[in-house]
Each structure stands twice: as structure tokens, then as C-alpha cells.
Amino acid sequence: MQPGEKIGPILQILEQRYGEAHVTLDFANPLELLVATVLSAQCTDVKVNQVTPGVFKKYPTAAAYAAAPLKELEAAFHPTGFFRQKAKSIQGICRALEENYGGEVPASLEELVKLPGIGRKTANVILGNAFGIPGITVDTHLGRISQRLGLTTSKDPVKIEFDLMPLVPPDRWTKFSHQMIWHGRQICTAKKPQCPLCPLLPYCDYGQDATQGGH
């Protein structure tokens, strides 16, 4: 089945199964989501959510991160791992916000990706969830499942995003991203996809192959 033929039923099944899917990072404004997203690299959202209440209280503005001693930020981010890199990155982003955007997080993809270390994935997370502007977030789950379903043949996240954009209606982009991520965590895991239990099996190239003994 061609991607254009199966995307309708796939979206319907995802909606039935993961109607409540949402971003699992806690935040109250765009800056908090930006910081939480950077901290979530190589770390679980649960762990990030344990750390961020204290961090957000201590650093309520971009100016606060920009002015903080690096060592202090490193200590605050320590439980999330890769804390030196994350401290440097968040301070660099916040200094750029201070210098170029009056300390505010910009609400456009073009501006967000100009911030140091911010790629399209993070930019789309922020746009979709903090500003309500649709975006497809190609993380490891969404990329893997899109390939398995046969919605893309690409491995490059940006190409995958552009393959999916004409298939998925824009008003579903953000929700679709969460639903695919939840599906990747619950059923279509990297190492052991549960194809026989998967509601997307009838529309999945990999799953059809796997259940017929191909994998």
C-alpha cells in the first residue's frame, strides 16, 4: 500500500489508541520548554521533570541563565547527565535570546534554528507545544516508526519531516508527533517491536514482513 493510501487509517488508529498523547515535559512558558527540551537529551522526561521545578525557580528568565556562573548551572543540571554540555548550551542559547530577542523565545522556525545548538526537532517541539504552531518532531521514535510503516525511505530527520508533511494534515502534525512517540515507547520499541499486538500491523511494511517470518 502506498503512503498516501494508508496514512488515513494510520492517523485514525493513532487517535483511537493515543488520543491523550501530549508532551511529557513539564513547563509553563516557552523558555521553560526550551530548557527542559535541551535537558531531555540522553535523559528521561521523568528525570527532567524532577529537576526542572528547582531550576525554573532559580532561573526564571533568559537573563538569569545568561548571567549564572557556568559551574552553578552544571550543578543544577547534573542529575540529567551530560551536564557540562547542557550548561554551556543553555547559557549560549539564553545569551543569544538576551542579545537578539529581548530575552524572549522567538515563535518561528527560522529564528529558533538560529539559536546555538537548536535544530528543527527542538524548534518544532517548542513551536507545537508552547506556541500552538504545528510542527512534526522527528525524534528517534518517529523516524524509526515512519520507516517501518513505509511512510518514508529516508534516514535523515529533515527529509523524513518533509516526506511526512504532505501526508499528514498540518492540524495533526503536533499531535501525530506525540502519538508516534508514545507508540514508540509502548509498542514499536527500537529493539523489540510488538508487531503481533500492534493495531498498525495491517498498514506496516516491517510488521507484515516480521509476522511472516521475515525478521
Catalogue the active-site residues. Answer: 121, 139
DSSP characters over 80-127: GS-HHHHHHHHHHHHHHHHHHHTTPPPSSHHHHTTSTT--HHHHHHHH
Asked whether position 143 contacts ligand SF4 by CB under 6 A, the answer is no
Q: Which of 169, 188, 190, 212 binds ligand SF4 (CB under 6 A)?
A: 188
Q: Which stretch binds ligand SF4 (CB under 6 A): 35-43, 84-92, 173-181, 189-197?
A: 189-197
Whole-angstrom CA distances from 152 to 59, 155, 177, 195 are: 41, 8, 15, 19
For residue 184 the three cell numbers come to: 514508540
Q: Which stretch binds ligand SF4 (CB under 6 A): 58-66, 118-126, 151-159, 199-207?
A: 199-207
Asked whether position 120 contacts ligand SF4 by CB under 6 A, the answer is no
Residue number of the CB atom closest to ligand SF4:
207
For residue 64 the three cell numbers come to: 538569569
Q: Which of 122, 132, 145, 175 binds ligand SF4 (CB under 6 A)?
A: 145
When the beta carbons of 21 and 62 are compared against ligand SF4, the nearer one is 21
Rounded to the nearest whole angstrom, what is the least distance from the CB of residue 184 to ligand SF4 in the complex? 8
Asked whether position 207 contacts ligand SF4 by CB under 6 A, the answer is yes
Rounded to the nearest whole angstrom, what is the least distance from the CB of residue 149 to ligand SF4 in the complex? 6
Q: Which of 148, 160, 174, 175 binds ligand SF4 (CB under 6 A)?
A: 148
Phi, psi of 204 (to 5 degrees): -110, 120
- Give every CB contact of residue 56 below 8 A, 6+ residues apart in sequence: 28, 32, 35
DSSP-based helix, strand, coil % in the chain, nearest 5: 65, 0, 35
Q: Which of 149, 160, 164, 181 binds ligand SF4 (CB under 6 A)?
A: 149
CA angle 190, 127, 29 (to 5 degrees): 105
Phi, psi of 112 (to 5 degrees): -60, -40
Q: Which residues of the chain form contacts with ligand SF4 (CB under 6 A)?
A: 145, 148-149, 187-188, 193-195, 198, 200-201, 204, 206-207
